Amino acid sequence: MGTSVRRDRHVNLQTAASGLVLLVCLAGCTGTPPLMPERILATHGVASGDASSDSVVIWSRGSAAGRMHVRLNESAHDQRIYTTTVRAADDFTGKVLVAGLQPNREYQYTVWFSDSDEAPGDIENGRFRTAPDAASPASLHFAWGGDLAGQNVCRDATEGFPVFRAVNKLELDFFIGLGDMIYADGICKPTGRYGNSQVAGEFIQSADLDNYRAHWKYNREDDAFRQLLAGTSYLAVWDDHEVVNDFGPQQDTRDAPPYSLAVHLMPIGLRAFLDYNPVAGNSDDPGQLYRSVRWGKHLELILLDTRQYRDSNLAPDDGVQPKTMLGAAQLQWFRNTVADSEATWKIIVSSVPLSIPTGFPPEKGRDGWADFDQNRGFERELRDIFGFLRQQKLRNFLFITTDVHFAAAFRYRPFADDPAFQVYEVATGPLNAGLFPNRDFDTSLGTEQLFFFGPASPDTVGDYRQARRWMNFGAVSIDANGELYVSVIDVDGTPVYKLHLSP
């Protein structure tokens, strides 16, 4: 990756595997560069992601090959510029790792592209907040959601993705895109599933890299979504539709056109995901997506990768050959992270639900944790996880999930001899996709349903107005005393469910 240096003092940190280049300018970087007639445009806004107490990743995309510049506006007299090269091979996307930041501080930044050091292009602005340090009892607020532009429920011709206008009304420290943030195996027609006019997508089902990238670009062209990404830090998580329905490493091929059984889709979908999301990455394993975020005294956010290491959905969950969704390395990392964290709350981010049965058609096995009506889920591993949490003498864990296209909340008491051990799950969605209400859930882990938000059945939704009212997202607030509040919020910003948990 080519770079250039043009300021007084620089630090160069390059991780070849992750493709991130850090060039830091500490002096002489004031002023907005003059505009030139020939410009490379920032085509899909900006995004910041994986913010920690001292770093963040900043992402954007240019209209042509050139240089992406990020100016961190710390003050009128203290600015830094970071530069990386964007290439056609990466679809002109670029990411820079900004390090050396102060904890619990809001930063503003400016991004532009150029074909040389002295030919700036279009300018985009963004902001983010860094995490407080681990000793700080600062309050925090974040939101999450998943299921975006699926089942031909795409950008409405008038409203776009209306749910993001509601999200943007909140003052957030970060937002979690919790999987199915594209539907790479779907299409977007001029007339939507519910009869409304919508923006057609210039893509087909994704069997090649160009179509995967086209799905990401389509969703990023929504004004309210772009406003969200520019206004707060983003945590990107993938689920199945970033690749293909119900995929895993042993289930990532399809035989119907445009697919070919000879082409494994997971590596292609992963590359597009990394191209279009501000993920910091791991220098030893650039494709590693599981990670944790410490946010002050009160939160350890544990983001799981439920797709990349799983056994086949068709494998029996019978204990003869232990079945895993997380894989051995991730499971050990999870145990270590939980055991080592002193945060008040450990919130676990899982793109698939705990007890709601998923997987279509069911004959191909269960895709989520629950076995439900067959012995082909991942329930034994989940039960082992619950057992580990109990061994750590921890209580009141919270899982946040999506995937099922309705909202629900559950309480689990998995151990009859220890009723004080409770786990909560709040599932939200869709942000903007088809509606598939399902009252079924697995009861074998002492499951109690606390809340349900969705239509009576898919057949009762006759038009877009009726469908729109069921779109939703989740939000979490933790105050300075560690009191935790969870809300499910509808498309117009009205809370439809609230849960309060004490530490």
Q: What DSSP letter does each residue of 358-409 carry, written as one string?
A: --SSGGG---SS--TTSS-SSHHHHHHHHHHHHHTT---EEEEE--SSSEEE
What pTM was estimated for this model as a whole?
0.92
- Residue 182: count other Cβ atoms within 10 Å of its Cβ: 30
pLDDT of residue 395: 75
Could you tell me the CA-to-CA distances from 435 to 56, 151, 193, 225, 438 in Å, in that order? 35, 9, 10, 21, 10
Specify burial of residue 408 (Cβ count, 10 A radius: 0-12, 13-18, 19+).
Answer: buried
Give the CA angle between residues 149, 309, 446 to the nearest 5°.
Answer: 80
Domain with CATH 2.60.40.380 in the chain: 12-129
pLDDT of residue 10: 30
Q: Specify the residue for token string 């042993």.
A: 250
Ranges in the chain, pLDDT < 70 = 1-38, 75-78, 117-121
CB 179 within 8 Å of CB 242: yes
In this structure, which CATH number among 3.30.1390.10, 1.10.287.3510, 3.30.565.10, 3.60.21.10 belongs to the domain 140-182+289-501?
3.60.21.10
pLDDT of residue 74: 75
pLDDT of residue 188: 98
Please choose, from the candidates 430, 353, 339, 460, the residue with its C-alpha nearest in 3D space to the C-alpha of residue 393.
Answer: 339
Beta bridge partners of 291: 303
pLDDT of residue 8: 30
pLDDT of residue 322: 87
pLDDT of residue 12: 31
Domain with CATH 3.60.21.10 in the chain: 140-182+289-501
Beta bridge partners of 57: 49, 97
pLDDT of residue 77: 62
Q: Specify the residue for token string 């309060």.
A: 500
Q: Tens digit of pLDDT for each residue in 446-492? A: 999 999 999 999 999 999 999 999 999 999 999 999 999 999 999 99
**Domain spanning 12-129 has what CATH number?**
2.60.40.380
pLDDT of residue 396: 72
Please choose, from the candidates 404, 455, 458, 464, the residue with its C-alpha nearest in 3D space to the C-alpha of residue 428.
Answer: 404
pLDDT of residue 5: 28
pLDDT of residue 321: 84
pLDDT of residue 319: 81
**H or E element at residue 340:** helix 328-340
